[in-house]
């Protein structure tokens, strides 16, 4: 999800290929991930822990096999990394050994010499090969076992612009579908029929068995497309306007539509405006950045209305309301279809409703301005 939202420059992820995950960078290099979970009762990871040492050994093997291909080696766990200022515990701290290696620019001396040598012997490598890995090693604490599902759905998936409007159930559905694709890529499942045409010893990227391990970042957009957008639901209302052709007891929206010759469209626009307001208010409870989203939507919709008004007034200066409304509908439908990111992935019905709200706020006019009567 970090790649899909632009936080990381990854183009694809390779699952269970040399490492648990290999994240392919845009420059052709990789970040290598080792994922290790353990019980909280086992305590934080120390330098002498077998699974941690084995992960570093795998990193060394990968670095030796593919020199210069890996940018960073990442050890990810649900449990934190041990750290201490105690002289007796100092050499048990993985982060401090990495810092000592970076500071020395090679094998460290002093109190770190023995810890480094012990790890080097375990990895069965040269000092230079171990230094290469430790200088690029990063430790990341991921979600807990119990909170993994909720954290992924609501802490990561929800940050995607196209997911900000999704309900909790929909976010969980998107999470599950993405995890399923990772699971399939991590297995031996190969759907490509070319697997029967490729030599069994092929190792290049044309090998279907190898390509089945690769998931492009675009899979997130594919999943979201399959899941679909949250439906725009019209808000039931009994607040029908008295369509008598007079200006008495009409809202600002009603007065403007009557003056512009759009009285037949008034009821529809009012319902869409009220529904858009309800729809966007419901999102405010799930989106802390709703003010920025609304600023974006309002700015784009008003700009389209202003451009439509200019074009319509030049074509039909005596009465351009119907022509302007037709153009606004076409413009907002095109935006929702072709450039959804500009309007926070809202539907065209919602955008048209926003145009109605802007009309009632006197930010959009469908005719030349005129004095608005107070209907209070």
pLDDT for position 293: 76
pLDDT for position 209: 67
Q: Do 276 and 359 meet the contact criterion of CB atoms below 8 Å apart? A: no
pLDDT for position 232: 52
pLDDT for position 87: 86
**C-alpha angle 115/43/145, rounded to 5°?**
125
pLDDT in tens, the chain (376 residues): 677 777 788 999 888 888 889 999 989 899 999 999 999 999 999 999 999 999 999 999 999 999 999 999 999 999 999 999 988 899 999 999 999 999 999 999 999 999 999 999 999 999 999 999 999 999 999 888 788 888 888 888 888 887 877 777 778 888 888 888 887 787 655 555 444 444 445 455 566 667 778 888 888 888 887 665 544 544 444 433 333 333 344 479 999 999 999 999 999 999 898 888 888 776 654 555 566 778 888 999 999 999 999 999 999 988 999 999 999 999 999 998 888 878 888 889 999 999 999 998 889 999 999 998 875 5
Q: Which residues contact 335 (CB under 8 A, 6 or more apart)?
A: 300, 304, 342, 343, 348, 351
pLDDT for position 257: 94
3-state secondary structure the chain: CCCCCCCCCEEEEEEEECEEEEEEECCCCEEEEEEECCCHHHCCECCCCHHHHHHHHHHHHHHHHCCCCEEEEEEEECCCECCCCCCCCHHHCHHHHHHHHHHHCCCCCHHHHHHHHHHHHHHCCCHHHHHHHHCCEEEEECCCCCCHHHHHHHHHHHHCHHHCCCCHHHHHHHHHHHHHHHHHHHCCCCCCHHHHCCCCCCCCCCCHHHHCCEEECCHHHHHHHHHCCCCCCCCCCCCCCCCCCCCCCCCHHHHHHHHCCCHHHHHHHHHHHHHHHHHHHHHHCCCCCHHHHHHHHHHHHHHHHHHHHHHHHHHCCCCCHHHHHHHHHHHHHHHHHHCHHHHCCCCHHHHHHHHHHHHHCCCCCCCCCCCCCCCC
- Total Cβ atoms within 10 A of residue 240: 10
| Dihedral angle, C-alpha 39, 76, 174, 345, nearest 10 ° | 140
Q: Which residues contact 78 (CB under 8 A, 6 or more apart)?
A: 37, 38, 141, 142, 143, 144, 145, 148
Instruction: Report the first-to-last Cα separation within the chain, whole angstroms.
Output: 50
pLDDT for position 199: 46
CA dist., res. 7 & res. 52, Å (int): 27
Of 300, 281, 276, 152, nearest to 160 (Cα)? 152
3-state secondary structure 335-351: HHHHCHHHHCCCCHHHH
What sign does the CA torsion over 342, 347, 352, 358 have?
Answer: negative
CA dist., res. 324 & res. 107, Å (int): 73
Residues in the chain: 376
Q: Do 22 and 32 meet the contact criterion of CB atoms below 8 Å apart? A: yes
**Phi, psi angles (nearest 5°) of residue 46:** -110, 160
User: What is the chain's alpha carbon radius of gyration, rounded to the nearest angstrom?
Assistant: 30
CA 142 from chain centre, in angstroms, equals 17
């Amino acid at each position: 999800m970090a790649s899909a939202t632009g936080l990381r420059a990854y183009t694809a992820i390779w699952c269970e290929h040399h490492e648990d995950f290999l994240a392919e960078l845009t420059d052709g290099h990789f970040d290598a991930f080792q994922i290790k979970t353990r019980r909280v009762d086992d305590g934080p990871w120390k330098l002498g822990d077998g699974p941690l040492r084995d992960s570093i050994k795998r990193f060394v093997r990968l670095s030796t096999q593919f020199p210069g291909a890996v940018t960073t080696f990442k050890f990810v766990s649900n449990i934190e990394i041990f750290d201490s200022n105690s002289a007796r515990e100092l050499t048990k701290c993985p982060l401090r050994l990495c810092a000592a290696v970076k500071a020395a620019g090679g094998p460290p001396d002093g109190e770190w010499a023995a810890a480094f040598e012990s790890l080097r012997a375990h990895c069965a490598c040269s000092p230079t090969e171990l230094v290469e890995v430790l200088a690029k090693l990063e430790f990341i604490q991921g979600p807990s076992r119990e909170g993994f599902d909720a954290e992924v759905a609501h802490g990561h998936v929800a940050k995607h612009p196209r997911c900000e409007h999704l309900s909790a159930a929909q976010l969980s559905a998107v999470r599950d579908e993405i995890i399923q694709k990772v699971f399939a890529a991590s297995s031996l499942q190969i759907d490509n029929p070319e697997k029967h045409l490729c030599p069994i010893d092929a190792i290049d990227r044309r090998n279907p068995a190898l390509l089945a391990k690769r998931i492009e970042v675009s899979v997130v957009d594919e999943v979201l497309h399959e899941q679909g957008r949250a439906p725009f639901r019209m808000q039931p209302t009994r607040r029908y306007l008295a369509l008598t052709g007079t200006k008495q007891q009409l809202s600002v929206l009603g007065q403007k539509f009557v003056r512009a010759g759009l009285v037949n469209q008034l009821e529809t626009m009012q319902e869409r405006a009220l529904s858009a307001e309800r729809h966007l208010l419901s999102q405010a409870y799930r989106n802390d950045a709703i003010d920025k989203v609304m600023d974006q939507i309002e700015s784009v919709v008003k700009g389209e209305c202003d451009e439509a008004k200019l074009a319509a007034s030049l074509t039909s200066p005596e009465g351009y309301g119907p022509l302007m409304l037709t153009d606004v509908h076409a413009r907002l439908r095109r935006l929702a279809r072709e450039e959804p990111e500009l309007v926070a992935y809202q539907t065209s019905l919602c955008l048209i409703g926003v145009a109605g709200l802007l009309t009632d706020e006197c930010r959009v006019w469908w005719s030349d301005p005129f004095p608005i009567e107070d209907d209070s």
